[in-house]
Structure 1
Amino acid sequence: MRTKIAIIGSGPAGLLLGQLLTNAGIDNVIVERASKEHVLSRIRAGVLEEGMAGLLDEAGAGDRMRAEGLPHEGIDLAFDNRRHRVDLFGLTGGKRVIVYGQTEVTRDLMDKRAATGGVSIYQAANVLPHDFNRDRPYLTFEKDGREMRIDCDFIAGCDGYHGIARKSVPEDAIETFERIYPFGWLGIIADVPPVNHELIYANHERGFALCSMRSTTRSRYYVQVEADERVEDWPDQRFWDELRRRLPQGTAEAVIAGPSLEKSIAPLRSFVAEPMRFGRLFLAGDAAHIVPPTGAKGLNLAASDVRYLFDGIREYYLEKSTAGIDDYSQKALSRVWKAERFSWWMTNTMHRFPEQGPFGQKIQHAELDYLFHSQAALTVLAENYVGLPY
């Protein structure tokens, strides 16, 4: 096969890039190692910045998000048995976020790709990028027992943290930065009404908790747990009891419990790989960076990578300029590191770190107390939460 852009990975980053390219008349093929059904079964983030929402509109895949997504104009931070609202809309001059699950984003982009004739190859085994440091890169993979090859101009590695794109880069050409946090998030999804119409982030002496949602009838809740905890040790009733312990009394009493539809423990890490371009191979999304979910930045960072990468590729083909692709890594990483900083700050402010002891807890309390007595501090939080400009 021959195409202009070979995209590895059919998650939101790969699908979004592919659709923007298709709309611009730039040939592309997506190659994915998993099945379509498996990709759609992944349960991930659900808070979209305005920039991400705008990109879905630009791709022509935003109609259902606009109809079914939940616009949020604030968040609550809970501590000292009280809830304090952060007015995102008022502090940022009218910006908001939209609660809309990553699974739904993926489904909408898949449907749009099918409707516009985009080529996606699923269940491709042993995908490998070749010669991306030369003028004629290509992909090889196996499909239905046959070895396949795609020749291309550029390769976009949108295949996640464990994908092959970053692993294919020589070790001496890439530098990584990582912070592993000493805890995880135990999360459940249940078909019960959310306890609040906006998200609640709770700092409690027993650990962090988050009250989120996927819709007005489906809730997503999390509690901080030890890194070595097992899902099997957390029956539903234990989870609901622990969640209520970490919320202000009035909020805890309003929580409606129900059987979990999904339950899992996610480790927390901060990770960045630099640079994000290697000749004719580009990294985007989780292939290049991971953030702890506290700041709701993972999916949104993938979108900003796609914004910069698509603009650069479009300039290359339509304006015969390499400026955009030459600047891609620097532009993307500038925004990545700001989001890493914000996610690190949210994680350090809202979670319990055993090694920090009583002194660390006092510092957290002082930080939160200062936050709600400073318009400037609240504005910084709000600007970062709704998303820094591209």
Structure 2
Amino acid sequence: MSTDSFAAMPDAQGYFGPYGGQYVPDHLKKIMDEINTSYEEIRACPDFQAELASLFADYVGRPSPIFHAKRLSEQLGGAQIYLKREDLNHTGAHKINHCLGEALLAKFMGKKKVIAETGAGQHGVALATACALVGIPCEIHMGQSDIEKEHPNVVKMKILGCTLIPVTAGAATLKEAVDSAFEEYLKNPEEFIYAIGSVVGPHPFPKMVRDFQSIIGKEAREQFLERQQCLPDYVTACVGGGSNAIGMFTAFLNDKDVQLVGVEPAGEGLDTQRHSASLSKGKFGYLHGMACYVLEDDEGNPAQVHSIASGLDYPGSGPEHSYLKDLGRVQYDNVTDQECLDAFMRLSRVEGIIPALESAHAVAWAIRTAPNLTAEQSILINLSGRGDKDADYVAELLGL
């Protein structure tokens, strides 16, 4: 594809190739179109851009640094491993990037309440933080099983003043939280705004979240070039819905010599039903107002999925990821729960960095891949979040 083609994604109707769009009722399509119009107007407003840039610098702490994981690289042999430290952001993950953008957008649009879902709780904490900052009420829907698994983030959300809605339907995880939050949003879409937590959902949300997250890749590309006088050979990130990955990949799409790798959760194995690898094992379908790769059950409904990482147990992936897979521009691989857990512990004990279980999927892929490369090659990992939220859960799993 040409540079212009990548830059033009999505088209005016919100499609990335055959993926994306607005598969919603007509009255809601009108609301989505109004959000898109407002977004395009507000994002070009100097006041909005200045306030967001100031908050990124002085509130989030951007730019996040790149760290050379020397000890891990030496232990593995082969490629040099670098980490883009999104875990050092205020609230502990990349989620704050788009949450600040969405909360500011809601304020500029005059909305009365921000509604969202969360899986691992990082999106919930970041959005509750952003809404507290701009002074707008926030309601977060979270699966009951995730509430029990991610207690530290639940406490933070409550301290920050959001209304937390437990969701007990179905598997009581991320997919059900999305369903519940969307149902609440539909009660008053004129006054509420749904702040989607990834590059998923109906247009314009995949575009909006990508745009706010693209600061990750812009920084990383400039930082790596300045430091190494070249670009990395591989850039990798975990993929559930796919916001941290698309945020990192966007800046490198036209760098043909940079291999982009999205790492999905293979859970207990792709030969089982206990995984969330929609790009590896799914097919074209419809989910939450978009066309994308979807994992379906025998009845054609979104499948019950699993991952050790709550932020990745979603039965689909963003439409841009779906299209990039078809184009072959991004390779989508996967790692199991056990590989993820091993990588979580190894990075913690070799580099003193406790990663989020989501991010540990990308670390696991790098650990698997680096020994097969040369010392002159490099892997840049988007370390999308820190593992404070996962520490108690991992300790229980391992009997620590």
TM-score, length basis structure 1: 0.28
More helix by share: 2
More strand by share: 1
TM-score, length basis structure 2: 0.28
